[in-house]
């Protein structure tokens, strides 16, 4: 219990003083607002999510509002957030919430897991941040903070381990509201102070209790961490083609898509992938559109 008590008070006090004012953290924020934010924040920084989240909630303040629209509108509104299949999953989840849960985001962690696009992390995050429950919430930021403070390693491995999950569970305060605040506080500490590159250890509330700092901040020596390429990849090609479809009022002739990406085999492959994923539809005359 010793290390738990030592970490809880300073981290919670730091969060109380330094937490960012984000719309999905407002006491008045709906569970739907929290759910939308969690899907948007997957692999996307807060600054890019904020305007899209605001526009989304203004247009679709409830799951029923979104479920009533075609999937293509969700893809259009997703804008340039990337990984647009998340928009389709959010639309599908809204439809299930309306059909099976009376239009209300489920409060149960197990039921949340049954929704499209909601995995272990997202279910725990919604249950914790929307409903104040006590769950282990392990995103990259939390894994990095606990890995450094408790484990003494600079960066977590590529995949989540059972040991990490057990360690996080052991550190979770017993009291439900405190546990929920602790989960978001550790996440915020990783986002603002205990960052992946150039951590601001001088401003960290638990620097004097950090195993990694005590060990002299040893460099990461695990398996090589792959940097994600972008230029010329299928992801970039898909994004370029989808941008053309999003910005068009109606259908788009093939010639317009050919102008957007010069490499013909890659363009054909990516366009077929967008159709297969439900992000675009191909009409009989060869034109394309959002679904």
Q: Report, as residue numbers or ranges, the catalytic residues.
A: 38
Pairing mode, strands 288-289 and 281-282: antiparallel
Contact between 128 and 180 under an 8 Å Cβ cutoff? The reply is: yes
Instruction: Please name the residues in contact with 33: beta carbons below 8 A apart, sequence gap of 6 or more.
Output: 23, 24, 53, 57
DSSP state of 45: -
Q: Is 252 helix (H, G, I), strand (E, B) or coil?
A: strand
Nearest alpha carbon to residue 271 among 285, 254, 250:
254
Q: What is the C-alpha to C-alpha distance for residues 226 and 213, in angstroms, rounded to an integer?
A: 25
Q: Quote the crossing angle between the two packed helices 120-131 and 176-192, to the nearest 10°.
A: 120
DSSP state of 101: S
What are φ and ψ of residue 145, in 5° steps?
-60, -50
């Amino acid at each position: 219990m010793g290390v738990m008590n030592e970490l809880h008070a300073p981290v919670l006090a730091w969060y109380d003083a330094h937490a960012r004012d984000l719309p999905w953290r407002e006491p008045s924020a709906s569970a739907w607002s929290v759910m939308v934010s969690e899907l948007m924040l997957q692999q996307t920084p807060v600054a890019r999510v904020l305007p899209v989240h605001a526009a989304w909630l203004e247009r679709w303040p409830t799951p029923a509002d979104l479920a009533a629209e075609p999937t293509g509108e969700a893809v259009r509104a997703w804008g340039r957030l990337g990984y647009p299949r998340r928009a389709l999953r959010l639309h599908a989840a809204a439809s299930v919430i309306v059909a099976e849960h009376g239009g209300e985001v489920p409060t149960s962690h197990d039921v949340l897991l049954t929704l499209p696009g909601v995995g272990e992390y997202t279910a725990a995050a919604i249950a914790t941040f929307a409903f104040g429950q006590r769950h282990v919430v392990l995103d990259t930021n939390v894994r990095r903070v606990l890995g450094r403070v408790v484990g003494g390693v600079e960066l977590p491995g590529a995949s989540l381990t059972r040991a990490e999950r057990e360690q996080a569970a052991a550190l979770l305060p017993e009291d439900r509201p405190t546990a929920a605040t602790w989960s978001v506080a550790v996440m915020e500490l990783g986002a603002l102070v205990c960052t992946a590159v150039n951590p601001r250890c001088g401003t960290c509330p638990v620097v004097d209790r950090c195993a990694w700092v005590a060990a002299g901040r040893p460099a990461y020596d695990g398996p090589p961490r792959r940097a994600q390429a972008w230029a010329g990849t299928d992801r970039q090609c898909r994004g370029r083609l989808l941008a053309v479809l999003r910005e068009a009022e109606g259908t788009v002739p093939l010639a317009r898509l050919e102008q957007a990406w010069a490499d013909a085999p890659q363009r054909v492959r990516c366009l077929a992938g967008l159709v297969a994923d439900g992000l675009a539809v191909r009409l009989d005359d060869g034109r394309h559109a959002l679904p």
